[in-house]
Structure 1
C-alpha cells in the first residue's frame, strides 16, 4: 500500500490541504474504543507550526480506511538533532463526546433501544432545542435490530459517547464512522464469526502458516468460577433483594467456585421478585461465568502476509472472531484494533491486535 500524502478536509468535508514530507504515519482504528493517528514530519523548523495551525480540528482520511480522523494536536519537538513536528489526533467518534446528555434527563421505560438512541441523537446533536448545539455534519444509522424493551442507563454526568459506547459493549458490536452524501455517519455493526466454527469462513493465525509470532500459551485455574450470584436490590426502601444463582455443571462441593455479578441495573424502585425478573438476570450470570471459564489462552503478534485481507467486506474486520492455533491447541480472539503504519525505514506494515479474553453472547 502506497501513501505519499494525506488530504486535509474542512468541516464541510471539502479538501483544503495535504500533508506530505513525513517520515512516519501511524493510523489505528478500534472495534469499540476511539482510534488515533500520529504523523511525524522530520527536520522541521518551529515556523512550520504557524502554517499548520490552520489544520487544527480539521479532518483527515486515507484511501485504505472508511474512518475519519480529527487533528487535535500539533507539536514541535526539537533539540540538537532530529527535530520534528508531530500531528496527532483521534477518530470522528470523539464528536459524540462533544455533547453531554443534558436534554436527556432520564432513559424512559418502554421504548426500545434503537428508539432511545435515535431520540438521544436527535435531541442532543441533530435537532436540539438549543440550536447552538446542533451539528449538521453528522448522521446516525438506525440500529433497527435492537428491539429490547428497555435500555437501563444512568445518564447523570455522561456524554452521548458514553451512552453509545455502553450500548456497543452490552450488545457486543462495533461502532464506526464513514462518509456518505457529504455527511459523517455513525454506525453500529455486528462482528462476524471468522473462526471456522459452525462452518464459518476460517481465519486462522498460527505458527504453521507463519502468521503468528511471539507466542505465549497459558492455562490457569486461578480465576476459574463455576457459580454466579447475580445481585440486584430495589423496591420500596430497597426491601427487595434478589441473588439469582447461575451455575454450570461443575458447581457442586469442593469444585464450586462462586462470584457476585452486578448487572448495573438502575431505577429499581419498582423491582419485584418474580420469575420474569430472575429469568432476565440469568444471561448476566452466564456471560460472567464464560469470562471466568477454564480455558487455553494463546497470545501473540500477527504478522503481515498475503493470506488474509483486512476490511469490512473482506476476510476479517474489527470485532470479528478469529482463531489462533499453537501446537494443535486452538483459541479464539476478537480483532480489537487494526494499525496501518508507513515509515521510511520499513515501508508499509498493517497488522491487527487480538483480544483473546473470552467473549460470550450478548446479554440481550
Structure 2
C-alpha cells in the first residue's frame, strides 16, 4: 500500500512504499491517529517532516505528522512517525467571542468551525463540506473553549461523528459531519452485520464493562441561588435505577434568552455531562474478513452492528477501527461500544 506525502499546502512531495509497520487508527467521535516505522533514509527524513500530510487513496481521512523520532538499531537507523488525522487541526483554535446557539448539532459544528477557523483566524485550506441535514438538536453557550473539544462533546451527545477530509484536487480540507448506519440483528431495513463465533469472523475477542463513573440522570443548576436557582433535570435512565449527577452550570447566563431557550441550554449541558459519564461497555476483536461481512464494503466506522460472544450480545456503534500493516499482512480491529470516558467540558474552567 502506497502512502502519498503532501506538504502543508497540499503539494505532493513523494510516496512511501516501503515500511516495517504502519498503524492507522480511525475514530468516530475524535481525531484518529497513526504510527509509521520505516528506514531513516535521507529521502524518508525529507518526506516525513513535521506538518506534512500522509494521504491514502482508500480512506476518507488523512494524517498530519506531529512526531518524528530516529533510533539506531542493529538493523540500521529507524524512523518512527506519529500524528493525528486532519480534524486534529481544530485543536489550534478556541471559540471567541461567545457562541449562543440553538438548532441542529450539525449546524452548531459548522458555525463553530466557520466562525473560529474559516471566516476569521482561518486554518490553511479549511472549508466547510456540504450539510447532510442531520436532525439532532442542541442548545448551548460556549466561550474560550477549544474548538475540537466542543465538537467532540456535541458529537458524543448527539451522537454524530465528524472529520476533516483531504480534498487534493482543490488543495483544501473539508469539515464534514457524518453518521453510520444501523446494521444490527434487531433491524430489518438493511442486511445485518454480526461478529460471532458462528460466523468465524472474530479473533482475540475482549469484552469490558465498567460502571464506576456511570450516571444516567442529571440535575443541572443554572443561574440564581437557593429556591430561586433555575434547575433542569435530564433523565437518560430508560427504566434503569437512577444514578444521579449534579451539574453546576452557573456559567450559563440567561441574559435575553426566553425561559424555554435557557432551559434548553441547561439540558444540553446535562446531556454532555451524561455523555462523559456513560457506562463503559465495549467489545473489541480482530475482524476476520469474510464474504459475509467485509470491512468497508459491509461495515465501516460509525456503523451500529452486533457482537456475540460468551452469551453476551452487544448492539453498539463501531467507535474505533485500528488497522495494522506488518509484513504485508493487514489486521483490522473494530472497537464496539463506549470506552472509559474522557473528560470533556463546555463549562467554565
- In which range does the TM-score fall when normalised by the shorter chain? 0.7 to 0.9
2:10 is the counterpart of 1:13: yes
| Distance change >3 Å, CA 114–CA 193, structure 1 → 2 | closer
CA apart distance, 1:97: 1.6
2:172 is the counterpart of 1:175: no
Structure 2 match to 1:362: none
Where does structure 1 lack aligned partners over 5 or more consecutive residues?
360-364
Structure 2 match to 1:138: 126
Structure with the bigger percentage of strand: 2
Structure 2 match to 1:126: 118
CA apart distance, 1:146: 5.5
2:100 is the counterpart of 1:108: yes
Structure 2 match to 1:333: 316
Where does structure 2 lack aligned partners over 5 or more consecutive residues?
342-349
| Distance change >3 Å, CA 204–CA 176, structure 1 → 2 | same
CA apart distance, 1:324: 0.9
User: For the Cα contact (< 8 Å) 1:323–1:332, is it kept in 2?
Assistant: yes
| Distance change >3 Å, CA 266–CA 111, structure 1 → 2 | farther
Deviations 1:110-155 (A, max 9, x none): 5665555444433322222xxxx33351211254636677631432
3-state SS in 2 of match to 1:162: helix
User: For the Cα contact (< 8 Å) 2:4–2:12, is it kept in 1?
Assistant: yes
Residue 213 (structure 1) aligned to one of 179, 183, 203: 203
2:36 is the counterpart of 1:39: yes
CA apart distance, 1:170: 1.8
CA apart distance, 1:356: 5.3
User: For the Cα contact (< 8 Å) 2:14–2:47, is it kept in 1?
Assistant: no
Deviations 1:260-279 (A, max 9, x none): 253868524469988x9499
Q: What TM-score, normalized by structure 1, do the two folds share?
A: 0.74
Residues in 2 aligned to 1:20 and 1:178: alpha-carbon distance in whole angstroms: 22
Residues in 2 aligned to 1:220 and 1:89: alpha-carbon distance in whole angstroms: 29
3-state SS in 1 of match to 2:156: helix
2:183 is the counterpart of 1:194: yes
Deviations 1:21-40 (A, max 9, x none): 31111111111121111221
Residues in 2 aligned to 1:277 and 1:10: alpha-carbon distance in whole angstroms: 47
Residues in 2 aligned to 1:284 and 1:145: alpha-carbon distance in whole angstroms: 24
| Distance change >3 Å, CA 11–CA 230, structure 1 → 2 | same
Aligned CA RMSD, in angstroms, stands at 4.1
User: For the Cα contact (< 8 Å) 1:261–1:288, is it kept in 2?
Assistant: no
Q: What TM-score, normalized by structure 2, do the two folds share?
A: 0.77
